[in-house]
Amino acid sequence: MAHIHELIDLTVSVFVVHKNRVLLRLHEKYNVWTGAGGHVELDEDANQAAIRETKEEVGLDVLLIHPDFVALDPKNTNCKELIPPMAMNIHKIYKGPHHHMDLVYVGVSDSDSVVLEQDTDKVRWFTKDELLKFSEVNERQRHYALKALEIAGKID
């Protein structure tokens, strides 16, 4: 989706874990290895956006997880409990004043069978050791991916 505000947009990133491997994709615009993700639409919450973007970009169904999340009263129809992100950041986009506030999630999948949104997309599954040796991923994205592996390992 196009930007919905001239100064800031809410975005999501999802680091998908399957059997002690984390999925990274090469972002086509910025040439950065990262999780699946994109903009939160006006008609959805951040959890819905994270699940939708992951399905659209890599064809995987995910369950969002967080080790400290405890849902409160599930019968309360006035409040929907959301899985919290493992991290948040704000970063500048393009030249000019536009920023993205990114909510970074851990998602687990029962499958590693990726279906790419576009034939030219590049993705790769990484073990912890492979990720530590992969020089093309930046420090922040490596940190998020390693943390996702750690969190998913605690939940299993």
Determine the distance from the C-alpha atom of residue 42 to the mean position of all C-alpha atoms in its chain, rounded to a whole number: 18
Structure tokens at 76: 């309360």
- Domain borders along the chain are 8-155
What lies within 8 Å, CB to CB, of 79 at 6+ separation is 72, 73
Give the strand pairing for 21-26 and 63-65.
unpaired
Label residues 28-52 b or e (16+ Cβ within 10 Å = b).
eeeeebbbbbbbbeeeeebbebbbb
5-53, pLDDT tens digit by residue? 778 899 999 999 999 999 999 988 778 999 999 999 999 999 999 999 9
Structure tokens at 59: 């064809």
For residues 1 and 22, is the Cβ–Cβ distance under 8 A? Answer: no
For residues 53 and 10, is the Cβ–Cβ distance under 8 A? Answer: no
68-105, pLDDT tens digit by residue? 887 776 677 788 889 999 999 998 887 778 888 999 99
Q: Which CATH class is domain 8-155?
A: alpha beta
